[in-house]
Amino acid sequence: MATQIRIQGLGIEFLRYASDHFPTLKHAAMRMVKGVKAAPAKFWALRDINLQFERGDRVGVIGRNGAGKSTLLKSITGIYPPIAGSIEVCGRVVPLLELGAGFMDNRTVEENIFLMGAIFGRSKREMAQALPGILAFSELEAFADTLLVNLSSGMRSRLAFSIATSFQPEILLLDEIFAAGDAQFVQKARERMSALIQSSHILLFVSHDEELVREFCNRAILLDHGEVRRVGTPAEAYDYYHREILEKT
């Protein structure tokens, strides 16, 4: 079956609190002491989204912060199930969204590689085959048995990037991905990303970097307040974005 994504009438709804979007335990305790009840309100992070992506689509997802861009990608991966509508995905998805989000500090580098493989839906056998390449690309061969907590932030970033990009995607989802490390690692990371983008059947790329979207994408979708405002070429979408949204706010 052909690689594709079909989204029909998609709605994603979240709770928002009156005083803060994501109330902490401290805030909740203070409300209890003061006898103030939390007043969450529902809001549509995405509303009535109808989109279809086919093989060959390289799509930039653009818009202001909070427009629903990351939520759209997370709904495609199944992190956020639809409240309304449906999402049909045909093809092997590789989501590069929040690198290293599933890491465990009290496990070794090698154990974390297998853990992240499981999160990505890869078998233990697949990960065993990928292990040497991941360690080599991240330049962590000498740290395979080191607890993750003992790695620097740069080493953790290299590891997360190397794991996530070790699989060949049919559908590639990118959310503001960047490579951390010295100049040599950044260069080879950019080369790997370019190769992944070129070989993927479908690319969905969330970014605030207009140059990158224009470079990698042949289509663009503009989201605003959870709704699709414009679909077209990157030039058309950005022209509308600058004229109708940024200049009027």
pLDDT (tens digit, 0 to 9) for every residue of the chain, 249 residues total?
Answer: 789 999 999 999 998 755 544 455 555 555 566 665 555 678 899 999 999 999 999 999 999 999 999 999 999 999 899 999 999 999 988 888 877 778 999 999 999 999 998 888 889 999 999 999 999 999 999 999 999 999 998 899 899 889 988 988 899 999 876 555 667 888 888 888 888 888 999 999 999 999 989 999 999 999 999 999 999 999 999 999 999 998 877
Identical fold between 4-91+206-248 and 96-200: yes
Euclidean distance between CA atoms 164 and 103, whole angstroms = 12
User: What are the structural domain ranges in the chain?
Assistant: 4-91+206-248, 96-200
pLDDT for the residue 243 = 94
Q: In the block, which residue shows the tokens 């559908």?
A: 171
Euclidean distance between CA atoms 29 and 144, whole angstroms = 42
CATH level 3 topology of 96-200:
Rossmann fold (3.40.50)
The β-bridge partners of 93 are 171
pTM for the complete prediction? Answer: 0.80
Which CATH number does 4-91+206-248 carry?
3.40.50.300
pLDDT tens column, 162-173:
998 898 889 999
Which of 249, 210, 228 has its CA nearest to residue 69?
Answer: 228
**At 155, which amino acid appears?**
M
Q: Where are the alpha helices (DSSP H) in the chain?
A: 25-34, 69-77, 109-119, 124-137, 153-164, 183-199, 210-216, 234-240
Task: State the burial class of residue 122 (Cβ atoms within 10 Å of its Cβ: 0-12, 13-18, 19+).
Answer: middle
pLDDT for the residue 34 = 63
Both tokens assigned to 149: 């907590």
pLDDT for the residue 29 = 57
Euclidean distance between CA atoms 26 and 20, whole angstroms = 12
